[in-house]
C-alpha cells in the first residue's frame, strides 16, 4: 500500500474562511503531526476527510480507495475522534462500547477489555467521570479493538497534564512500530511532535505551508539570539523581536554564514520557535499598551 491517506487539492469555502488546495499524504508507519494555530483549518480538513462536511472540490483516498465511493469500507479501517467526547456523558464506557461495536464488523470485545486494562481504564466509569487523558485512551482503545489501520485524531493531547501526554505519545509510538499502521493527529502543542512525529503538515490560513519529514522542516531554519543587537542584520530575519537584552528571531539556514561572520552563532530551532516566528512574519502582530 503506497499511502494510508492522500488528500489532493481539497477546497472548502465558508463565508469568512476557506481551505485552499490542501494536499498531503500519510504513509504506513508514519506519525503525521498536523499543525497550525487555532482557526487555520485543521479540524475542517479532518472533518472533510471523514465526509462529515461537504467540500467544493478535491479528492480524498484512504488505502488507495476513493473515500466518497468507498466510505463505509474505509471507515471500518479508520479510528477517528474529535477533540472532545461529549455524547452520552451519563453512559459508562462498557455501555458505549456495546453500542459502538455494532458499527464495526471486526470489533473484538476481548481486545477492547485487554486494552482498557493496559490503559488502566475503568470500563464501569461514566464518560463524564473521565479525565481528558482517559477520554483519549478510550478513543484509542475503540480504534485498536476494531483493528483500525489509520488513526485520525483531533487535538488528542490538548488539556492533558505532562504525564498523561507522555503516556499518550508512548502509545502512539507503539501503534506504528510495526509499520502497518499510521496516525494523523492535529495539535498546536508542538513539543508533542518533537517527541513522536516523523512527519508534519503545517497549515496556515487554509493553505499548506509545508508537508514532509519533520527533520527536513526543522533543518530549513535556524534560531538566533543576538545579544549584540546588531541592527544591520534586521532585514535578514524571517521574523524577529527585540527583548531587553537581545534580538531573537528565525532565519533561513542559508543565512547562517552571514550571522557567524558577525560573531553570532545560530542554533537549531524547535518546532514551536519555527511556528511562532512564521506566524509572526505573516501576521505582523503589534500591541499598543
Q: Which of 121-130, 253-262, 277-286 has the lowest mean pLDDT?
A: 277-286
Q: Is the pLDDT of residue 91 over 60?
A: yes
Segment 192-211, tens digit of pLDDT = 898 899 999 999 999 999 99
Q: Is the pLDDT of residue 132 over 50?
A: yes
Q: What is the DSSP letter of 103?
A: G
What is the pLDDT, as a whole number, of residue 72?
Answer: 93
pLDDT digits (tens, 9 = 90+) for 242-272: 999 999 999 999 999 999 999 999 999 999 9
The whole-number pLDDT of residue 164 equals 82
What pTM, to 2 d.p., does this model score?
0.88
Nearest to 52 by CA among 27, 80, 77: 80
* Of the listed ranges 39-43, 70-74, 130-134, the one predicted with least confidence: 130-134
Q: What is the pLDDT of residue 83?
A: 64
- The whole-number pLDDT of residue 189 equals 85
Residue 51: is its pLDDT beyond 50? Answer: yes
Q: What is the pLDDT of residue 289?
A: 38
- The pLDDT confidence band at residue 178, using thresholds 50, 70 and 90, is very high
State what percent of residues in the chain have pLDDT above 70: 95
Give the mean pLDDT of the chain: 90
Strand, helix or coil for residue 153:
strand
Sign of the dihedral through C-alpha 52, 185, 75, 115:
negative
Q: How does residue 286 score in pLDDT terms, banded at 50, 70 and 90?
A: very low
Question: Bigger pLDDT: 159 or 274?
Answer: 274
Residue 287 has pLDDT above 80, yes or no: no
* Higher-scoring residue by pLDDT: 137, 77: 77
- Burial (CB < 10 A; 0-12, 13-18, 19+), residue 279, is middle
Domains of the chain: 5-213 (3.40.50.300), 219-283 (no CATH)
d(CA 218, CA 221): 6
118 or 59: which carries more pLDDT confidence?
59
Confidence of residue 134 (pLDDT cuts 50, 70, 90): confident
d(Cα 41, Cα 235) in Å, to the nearest integer?
30
Query: What is the pLDDT confidence band of residue 288, given thresholds at 50, 70 and 90?
Result: very low
Residue closest to 5 by CA, chosen among 74, 87, 76: 74
> Does position 285 have pLDDT exceeding 70, yes or no?
no
Amino acid at each position: 500500500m503506497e499511502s494510508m491517506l492522500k488528500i489532493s487539492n481539497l477546497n472548502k469555502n465558508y463565508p469568512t474562511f476557506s481551505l485552499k488546495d490542501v494536499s498531503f499524504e500519510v504513509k504506513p508507519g508514519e506519525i503525521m503531526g498536523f499543525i497550525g494555530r487555532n482557526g487555520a483549518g485543521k479540524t475542517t480538513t479532518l472533518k472533510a476527510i471523514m465526509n462529515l462536511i461537504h467540500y467544493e472540490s478535491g479528492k480524498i483516498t484512504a488505502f488507495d480507495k476513493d473515500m466518497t465511493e468507498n466510505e463505509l469500507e474505509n471507515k471500518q479501517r479508520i479510528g477517528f475522534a474529535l477533540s472532545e467526547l461529549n455524547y452520552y456523558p451519563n453512559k459508562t464506557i462498557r455501555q458505549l462500547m456495546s453500542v459502538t461495536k455494532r458499527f464495526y464488523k471486526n470489533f473484538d470485545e476481548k481486545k477492547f477489555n485487554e486494552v482498557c486494562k493496559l490503559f488502566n481504564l475503568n470500563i464501569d466509569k461514566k464518560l463524564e467521570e473521565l479525565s481528558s487523558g482517559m477520554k483519549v485512551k478510550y478513543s484509542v482503545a475503540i480504534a485498536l479493538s476494531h483493528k483500525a489501520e489509520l488513526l485520525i485524531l483531533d487535538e488528542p493531547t490538548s488539556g492533558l497534564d505532562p504525564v498523561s501526554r507522555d503516556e499518550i505519545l508512548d502509545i502512539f509510538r507503539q501503534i506504528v512500530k510495526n509499520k502497518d499502521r499510521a496516525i494523523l493527529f492535529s495539535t498546536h502543542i508542538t513539543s508533542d511532535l518533537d517527541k513522536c512525529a516523523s512527519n508534519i503538515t503545517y497549515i496556515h490560513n487554509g493553505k499548506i505551508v509545508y508537508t514532509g519529514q519533520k527533520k527536513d522542516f526543522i533543518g530549513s531554519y535556524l534560531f538566533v539570539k543576538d545579544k549584540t543587537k546588531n541592527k544591520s542584520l534586521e532585514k535578514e530575519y524571517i521574523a524577529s523581536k527585540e527583548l531587553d537584552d537581545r534580538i531573537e528571531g528565525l532565519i533561513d539556514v542559508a543565512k547562517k554564514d552571514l550571522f557567524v561572520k558577525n560573531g553570532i552563532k545560530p542554533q537549531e530551532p524547535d518546532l514551536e520557535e519555527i511556528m511562532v516566528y512564521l506566524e509572526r512574519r505573516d501576521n505582523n502582530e503589534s500591541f499598543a499598551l
